[in-house]
A and B are shown apart, each in its own frame.
Chain A
Amino acid sequence: MTIDELKNRPKFYYNIDGVAELGMGFMMLGWGLIGWLQVRTPADTIWHRMSLIYLGAVLAIIHYGTKAIKEHITYPRTGYVEYRKRDTRWRPGIAAAVIGALIPIALVGARRSHWDLTKFVSLFGLLLTAAYARGVAGWAVRWKWAVVWLMAAGALAIPALPANLVTDAAIHSRFFAINKMVGTLYLLALFYGVLMLVSGGISLWLYIRHTEAPAGETA
């Protein structure tokens, strides 16, 4: 093992119990579900009015759930790590602003050129897959590559689903192309959410099985 690999170990330790995936999965599932319900239900239903409260609740569950798992399971078994506050926090903000500005431009350009907008969803899915694969390479857990392949397959297959499966509320709308893309995006988020929850859940189960419970927990 090189010194650089050693220096990277604390970073990968964060997901030793699967919490990073559980958090990500819960967030994607929550976001995908509320979006999907908004696409499929009339505008006067509760799903269109409660989205901020709903997403706030999802974020709170992720925050306190992660904390509880770390405090009660991970730290007593394999130790505590406090990560350094990064001095490059502005970078994700700038990246998000640039991407946020580029997306509408790309969408308008694509619509004018009569492109299939769901290709953007495939691209987005493949980018997420690549980011996840980078993490998997660091974790060195072989079965996680199956998750990578499933994510890539989902990114290619879900945008190819028939239109009426993705959205039927706006099928005759002039914004159909955009709505189909948004519906496909939510469906992909639901799929990735379930996948991350299953993967994180298996990691947590394996972690508990293969690490020793603290003295106070054993009978």
Chain B
Amino acid sequence: MNEQIRNLSELDRVIHEPGRLMIVALLSAVEKADFLYLLHETGMNKGTLSSHLARLEEAGYVEIAKTFRGKVPQTLLRLTPSGTEAFEKYRRQLKGAL
């Protein structure tokens, strides 16, 4: 099989999904962000965003912390080191394949 095609077939499916790619790219540029920020930036609805985050958490790419800002509940999200590594690898593979 051609090297470039093999690269494409080895892309991380968890990150490759457009919604999750958006989330991971946004989180890769910050220390952490809250659920509301991702909702605003991605334009997804709460249910879709929640399910993507659950998938990313399951893969160990995102860390989710429930906390409070004053008296208001807040969900903070952070890309884990393995999430950062997976995202960088995904970018390299994609670049190599294109």
Contacts and interface: CB of A to CB of B under 8 A. Distances in A.
A7 interface: yes
Interface of B: 21-22, 25-26, 28-41, 69, 72, 74, 76, 91
Interface stretch (A73-81, A124-132, A161-169): A73-81
A13 B27 CA distance: 13
Contact of A81 (B21, B30, B69, B74): B30
B31 A82 contact: yes
13 contacts: A3-B25, A7-B25, A7-B28, A10-B29, A75-B34, A78-B37, A79-B35, A79-B36, A79-B40, A82-B31, A84-B30, A84-B31, A85-B31
Contacts of B29: 7-11, 84
Interface in A72-117: 75-76, 78-85
A interface majority secondary structure: helix
Given A3-B25, A6-B25, A76-B72, A82 B91 contact: no
A44 B29 CA distance: 51
B9 to A, nearest CB: 20
A80 B41 CA distance: 11
Contacts of A13: 37, 41
A14 to B, nearest CB: 11
B39 A82 contact: no
A59 B73 CA distance: 31
